Structure 1
Amino acid sequence: MLLFSTILDINETLTKDDFIRLVIEWNQGSPYTNNIISGIQWNGERNIRYGGDGLWLDIEEYRNQNIIAVRYEKKDDDGAIWDTDYVMNFRTMKMSIRLDRSYTAEALDADPNFSTPHFITLLIERGYLKDDHHLPVQKTATVINDENMRMLVDVINGKNMFNLPVVYVSKTYNDEDPVNVSYLSSRLKGVAHVMIEESNRLNRTIKEQCKSNNEYYGAIGIYYPSHGSNHRRYLYRSAVGYDRFLLERVVRSVIQYSNAQMIDTLLTWQGVNNALLRDRLTSQREERLAAEIARTAAEAEAAKIQDSLDEEERRIRKQAAEDARLEANRLLDSFDDEMQKLQNQVVALTRANETLQFENQGLKAKLDSRDTIPVLFMGDEFEFYPGEVKDIILAILSEAAKGIKPKSRRADIVRDIIKNNDYQKLSEAKAEEAKRILKNYDGMTAKTRQALKELGFEITEEGKHYKVSYYGDGRYQTTYSKTPSDGRTGKNCAQTTINMAF
């Protein structure tokens, strides 16, 4: 599952050695000791692997295209596999950074929390990132004031060129930030530019210059570089916990846009490794052909010489020829073994690529379907997990269909919509999981807390109770007793939670 993807323009000052050193520094400087690979001593190698099966760092150079690809992989105790890829094309001076989480059969089906790689901060601090046209790529927000207001106005009016989305945060009616702007900027470093209004006194001036298309009084606008993606606006609401909810909505919108962008095959780890394997296979075939030609020539030359020798010399020459033939066959056998290994790697990489292609085809089909007239349009509610809104609507329709008179127009329409929208019963599955977790609830154990967290719930303590909120949204909260005395507490908690969230 792709969590994060971005492509950055890099300054010419970054060399291949600088790039590798920076990747190693990123790993060795991690604040989490279980992420650090011990024993890394880099001596200028361009193709080298560090670590073991559950934690490793692999560096591959593709000289033909002047590319260095790096993959860092970590396997968690729950079976989840985290892959972080850095691919630098020194011919185009573009860098791809991608974060992926996959699962083994034992891993929990969770919706992982996203975190941008600290590596982007290192690139910013070392001055390796080029400006995005006229906008600097940074980890802090740009404060919009009287002097630089034109920068924002040109973005809103569509007159400014940029490759990364622009997020504009306006001040609230009380002249406060609607969200934690520093945290927002940190979360979006390398994938978006964040601009914050200095004071709401600027509202009138900005409004006049933007023909009233600007955000104000806490609203947040996302301006995308692609004309195919509409400008998004999120309104501010004064409610406890809404600031965090609003921030997450903005982050998810930007990350989803970034992840959906097309990326060149040679800016991916798998693409580079596929290209390397193809080149190695070609080289192996050429070496094998040369060995076969050399063996045939040697045998012919040996036969010619043997005719002019006496019996003893013929015996010696024959033995030497036999030894040479055996050695040639050994070399050819080793070529066969190496070829099989490479072929197996190609098959594995091709299978992974096909999986990604199917995923992309599904996304393309979803986008192509916009040419047709949808039955419903999305409102302002942001999905907590992919497919949530659609699944809940289909669940409601499926339940309602049970009470609709058969062989009626209403029944045919409802069942047709359910049939043609791939109803996967996601919310039903989550409800069953909630029942399982809370069935024998007698207190908030570490296992119960983790399982609820995996379903999207946040848990805090309030006196004699635990406050449980769904994805941190203050609208969806309930409480669990710390010391339940009723044997039905678990079932009651489960039903309340299900009614609230699913």
Structure 2
Amino acid sequence: MIGFNTILSLSDETSAEDFLSLCREWMEKSPHTSLKLDSVKIEDGLKYVSENETLEFACILGSEGTHCGVRHTKKDSDCEWRTDVIGFKTSVNFVVSIITSKADFNVSTYSKMPTRPHIVKLLMEKTPPIFDDDILVQKEPKAVGVNNYHELVSIIKNEKKNKLPVVFISKYFSGEYLINPAELAKWLSGFAHVYYETESTVSNILKESTNGLNSYNGSVGIYWPGGSRNYYYSNENVDHILKLRLFVQKTLSSRTLLKECRWSYIQDIKYKKRLDEYRKNNTEMTEFMEYTFNEIKILKDRVDTLESENEYLTQQVEILTDHDFSNKSTLLIKGEERELFKNEQLEFILDLLQEKISSGSCSMRMKNVIESILSSNNRTNNKDEFLKSIKQILVSDRGLNKQDKKELKRLGFDVEESGKHYKLVYQMDDRYSFIVPKSPSDYRGPKNNFSQFKEYFFSV
């Protein structure tokens, strides 16, 4: 299954020979290869082989242009990695596809996602500037201000013909970013463009120009060729750059491959040429071979179609179930207060809306709007689970034991001893501290502790 997939449009100044030489240089400078390479002329069929690794070159003239590239395979302890770097050069363009796949590879398993092949960096650095439509492919992020926002507007509105996705990092109203634009651009270079907002006032301009399709106030927008989009925002203390890179990478893995940039397509051209030569010299077998060849082609097309559909649908399920990435404009941005539990702020807002609609004190319009919001957001019961865990600790008449303190720590509370009391402090923030007696005053004490805790943290 495919784990990395990108397309680069090289300058038409780059020759097929230069491209193939860079493919060999990619392996020559790799500290991980076991191949012994030389400097012989690269021709179709040139192949380097070691015990667990191969590098095979292809270069053949087709009906519309030159198909050239390399297939690198390497076996590890459990399966085989395969990277195809295939170019299709015509008189007007030079499209290169870089694809890494692995036998039994599952695109939904983050830990097994392959890294970007180094050949991508070489092509960016050692060939003339690469453009995607008219967007420069680079490792630096592109700044967006009040004087140069028009390009981003055309991208968001799907008015350009770029092949790579665009990631836009908006600025918090406070002036900071959820993600460092330079770091993200470095990690996504070669398979996504990164833009970032330099002035928070740009958000309002983009909102007016794109009918609100832009990300804003710290959220990140991902705009795909074809017009689809996702929005990312998370208050959790996670590696946001890693999450974004893996999401973009696995989404691109489901993209349809260019026919002209497939290793199998090059092999088909070679096969047809050999078949034509055979036909010229063996006329009696021509009819039978034609029939056989057509049957093989029909079966191959059928297999390719089914495999593509299966991979696409499987990967789309994984992509669409990643709840950190929404394909709708953000209704609200989470505040900067750290959450007691996952989705605390969302649950709080939904509870308030449910309470409002249940009161019967709103207009028909407001009732319909609230019902629409409630039906569009999945309800979680994390608050109930959180309170259930707290209750098990606080209603005990034995006081706080070692296991209770460990569980409180897991829930985000530090336990400090102060005379006859324990002081529970959430995330070392003294605004959120709660006092618990070491010994209950009477039999009602433990239950009162929990009721007071619930009132202190969750009363409205």
- Fold match by TM threshold 0.5: yes
* AA partner of residue 361 (structure 1): E
Asked if structure 1 preserves the Cα contact closer than 8 Å seen for 2:83 and 2:99, the reply is yes
Question: Relative to 1, partners in 2 of residues 1:7 and 1:132: Cα closer, same or farther, differing over 3 Å?
Answer: same
Structure 1 Cα separation of the partners of residues 322 and 11 of structure 2: 42
AA matched with 1:182: A
Change (3 A) 1:10 1:34: closer
Q: Secondary structure at the match of 2:96?
A: strand
SS in 2 for 1:222: strand
Q: CA 1:39/1:234 → structure 2, altered by over 3 Å: closer, same or farther?
A: closer
1:282 to 2:282 alignment: no
Any gaps of 5 or more consecutive residues in structure 1?
293-338, 370-376, 384-466, 468-502
Q: Is the 8 A contact 2:130 2:136 kept in 1?
A: yes
Aligned-pair CA distance for 1:14? 0.9
Q: What is the aligned partner in structure 2 of residue 264 from structure 1?
A: 258
* Distance in structure 1 (CA, Å) of the matches to 2:110 and 2:237: 27
- Name which of 309, 326, 329 aligns with 1:361: 309
Give the structure 2 partner of residue 450 of structure 1: none
What residue in structure 1 maps to residue 124 of structure 2?
Answer: 124
Q: Equivalent residue for 2:7? A: 7
Instruction: State the TM-score, normalized to the length of structure 2.
Output: 0.59
Higher normalized helix content (fraction of residues): 1
- Identify the match of residue 323 of structure 2 among 359, 364, 380: 380
Distance 2:75 2:83 in 1: 12
Measured against aligned partners, the alpha-carbon deviations of 1:180-213 in whole angstroms (never above 9, x if no partner) come to 4334223322222110112435334444444443
1-side partners of 2:316 and 2:3: how far apart? 23
1:249–1:382 Cα contact (<8 Å) kept? no
Could you give the per-residue CA deviations for residues 78-100 of structure 1, whole angstroms, max 9, x where no partner exists? 13211111111122521111111
User: In the alignment, is the contact (CA less than 8 A) between 1:270 and 1:353 conserved in 2?
Assistant: no
Give 2:94's aligned amino acid: M
Amino acid at match of 1:81: E
| TM-score, normalised via structure 1 length | 0.54
| Alignment match, 2:56 | 58
**Alpha carbons of structure 1 residues 353 and 100: separation in structure 2 relative to 1, 3 Å:** farther
Q: CA deviation at 1:367?
A: 11
Q: Deviations over 1:301-352 (max 9, x none)?
A: xxxxxxxxxxxxxxxxxxxxxxxxxxxxxxxxxxxxxx9xxx9xx98x9998
Q: Residues 231 and 325 of structure 2 are in contact (CA less than 8 Å); yes or no, is this contact kept in structure 1? A: no
Query: C-alpha distance in 2, partners of 1:21/1:272?
Result: 19
Question: 5 Å matches for 1:468-487?
Answer: none
Contact 2:86 2:261 in 1 (8 A): yes
Spell out the pairing of 1:199-218 with structure 2 (5 A cutoff).
199-218=199-218
Structure 2 letter corresponding to 1:166: V
- Change over 3 Å in CA distance of 1:154–1:73 after alignment to 2: same
Distance between the aligned counterparts of 2:115 and 2:14, measured in 1? 25
Taking the aligned partners of 1:366 and 1:60, their CA distance within structure 2 comes to 32
Secondary structure at the aligned position of 1:99 is classed as strand
Give 3-state SS (helix, strand or coil) of 2:58's partner: strand
Paired residues for 1:397-412 under 5 Å: none
For 2:321 and 2:146, how far apart are their aligned partners in 1?
Answer: 37
Following the alignment from structure 1 to structure 2, what is the Cα–Cα distance between the partners of residues 211 and 17? 47
Matched residue, 1:448:
none
How far apart are 1:232 and its partner, in Å? 1.0
In 2, Cα distance between the equivalents of 1:265 and 1:129? 25
Q: 8 Å contact 2:7–2:164 — kept in the other structure? A: no
Runs (4 or more) in structure 1 with deviation over 6 Å come to 349-354, 364-369
* Percent of aligned pairs sharing the same letter: 23
Query: Which residue number in structure 1 is paired with residue 195 of structure 2?
Result: 195
Give the 3 Å change call, closer, same or farther, for CA 258–103 of structure 1 in structure 2: closer
Higher RCO (C-alpha under 8 Å, 6+ residues apart): 2
TM-aligned CA distance change 1:36 to 1:174, over 3 Å: farther
User: Are 1:240 and 2:237 an aligned pair?
Assistant: yes
